[in-house]
Structure 1
Amino acid sequence: MAEEAKTRRRSTKAEQRAETMEQILDEAELLFSRHGLHGVTLKDVAKRVGVHHTLLNYYFEDKKKLFDAVFARRAVVTSTKRMQALDEYDRASGGKPTIEGALHAFLDTDLDLYIHGGDGWKNYGALGAQVANTPEWGAELMDSHFDPVVLRLIELLKKAMPDCAEEDIFWGYHFVTGALMVTLARTGRIDKLSGGVCKSEDFEAIKARMAAFMAAGFRQICNKKA
């Protein structure tokens, strides 16, 4: 009985620690998505969580390590899901992918997370947009987490457009990721420009249009039908 009680206590402590860690990451994600790495302190995060800031120092040592942990938590989810979607599409196409098919697998899988994942995923999207536009250290984070899935997309696009110059395919991807990052930032600019006809929060509308739009762009710069 005593051993069982000890096991339960250990389990409870582990569960409590896991819950606290998730809360820390959630609150840090929210703050970083709004104010960036340099606009947030560990004390800011600790205050929102309701713990002393020394606890955050204990878990993460410094603010950059906390930021990296926040970014990595969902990066592995979206990169894994997109890799699986691309692999499944490649198999389903019999190794003969189309431009639209590859882009749908890559983009729609990611957009679905922001459509169905709640505020946490939307905060992460805004954070990702910041990271992607921070040359000082953001490129390194993007490289380490997303290069494999991006190169898998490039591989499928090369299959879909075998006569397209490699540089045009990479430029095409550059435009795709730029549009995706603006989308994830949700600045509200399109709301104002369109007089409310379009809304930056409307990921469903974006999903319905983005892959087809980008596929047309690839065809244009590659100057061929694929």
Structure 2
Amino acid sequence: MATNAKRTNIKRREESREKILDAAERLFAQGGFNGVSTKQIAQAGEFDASLMHYYFENKEGLFRAVIERRAESVNRIRLESLKRYSDDAGERITVEGVLRAYLEPTFAYVMAGGNSFKDYLSIIAHVNSTPAAIIPGFETSPFDPAVREFLSMIGRAAPDRTEAEIFWFYHMLSGAITLTWARTGRIDALSEGLCRSDDLESACREMIAVFADGLSRGRR
């Protein structure tokens, strides 16, 4: 009986923690780190603010937990896909192939996850476009392990490019990813509905095409 009660308590704590993370994810997606208070999160999730402080200590801890909850899965998916492509391609590795291995599984993961995963994308867009010092604890990104492997493989696929060019390439790609994750509706208005910012499948396809060509072309 004691063991069952312990398991029930553990499950209850896990459920409470997930409920807090779900509410925080929704609100951080709308307002970013600085645009949301712990009081607002507690009210939205219908739980006592003291419970949030019990699990996460403060807003910084809660924000980190929201990011890290899905970051591990995203990193794993990316790293597994990159390794699979590297093993299959061998010396025939290409920039387009690396981009596909890096981007397609991430987009597929998000599209399969529904609205909560899209909220997560909005938070990542906030993080990517905010100076690191403004968000405590985010001097480095939890996605860096997968990003560094991606950069290493891009370097192999484009050996004629300098290290600086590879980093600038990622800088520009990261900007495209961030704008796509933000789903601002800008492209909807510009194209008069021809393109939609929530069409992640098309965004992924076009991103691969543009950036594969951009790095593969000869120097000016």
Superimposed CA distance per residue, residues 65-87 of structure 1 (whole angstroms, 9 cap, x where no aligned partner): 10111011111111111011111
Match of 1:29 among 21, 25, 31: 25
Secondary structure, in 3 states, of the residue corresponding to 1:141?
Answer: coil
**Displacement of 1:48:** 2.0
Within a 5 Å distance, the mapping from 1:149-164 to structure 2 comes to: 149-164=146-161
In the TM superposition, structure 1's runs of 4+ consecutive aligned residues that sit over 2 Å from their partners are: 136-144
Partner of 2:46: 50
Q: 2: CA distance between counterparts of 1:41 and 1:124?
A: 18
Shift in alpha-carbon separation, 1:71–1:186, aligned structure 2, 3 A = same
- Superposed CA deviations along residues 174-211 of structure 1, whole A, max 9, x for unmatched, are 11111001000001111111101110000111122211
Contact 2:60-2:136 at 8 Å conserved across structures: no
Written as runs of structure 1 = structure 2, the 5 A alignment for 1:159-178 is 159-178=156-175
Which residue of structure 1 lines up, in the alignment, with residue 103 of structure 2? Answer: 107
Aligned to 2:92, the other structure's residue is in SS state coil
Distance in 2 between residues matched to 1:185 and 1:130, nearest whole Å: 8
Would the alpha carbon gap of residues 95 and 15 (structure 1) be closer, same or farther in structure 2, given more than 3 Å must change?
farther
Unaligned segments of structure 2, at least 5 residues: none
Task: Return the letter of the residue paired with 1:203.
Answer: L
**1:65 matched to 2:61:** yes
Counterpart of 1:196 in 2: which secondary structure?
coil
Distance 1:140 1:68, change over 3 A: closer
Match of 2:129 in 1: 133
Measure the CA separation in 2 of the matches of 1:190 and 1:142: 31
Q: Report the CA distance shift for 1:219/1:138 in structure 2 as closer, same or farther (over 3 A).
A: farther
CA deviations 1:78-133 (Å, max 9, x no partner) are 11110111111100112431110000011111111221111111001000000011
Alignment deviations for residues 131-156 of structure 1 (CA, whole Å, 9 cap, x no partner) = 01111245963734122211111111
Q: TM-score, normalised by structure 1?
A: 0.91
* Cα distance in 1, alignment partners of residues 154 and 9 from structure 2: 49
The residue matched to 2:87 in structure 1 has which SS? helix
Cα gap change, 1:109 to 1:204, in 2 (>3 Å): same
Change (3 A) 1:53 1:140: closer
**What are the ranges of 5 or more consecutive residues in structure 1 without an aligned counterpart?**
none
The counterpart of 1:213, out of the listed 184, 206, 210, is 210
AA aligned to 2:142 is H
Letter in 2 for 1:86: L
Structure 1, 145-154 or 83-92: larger mean CA deviation: 145-154
Residue 197 of structure 1: aligned partner: 194
Higher radius of gyration, 1 or 2: 1
CA distance in 1 between counterparts of 2:196 and 2:117 reads 18
196-205 or 112-121, which moves further after superposition? 112-121
Contact 2:29 2:123 in 1 (8 A): yes
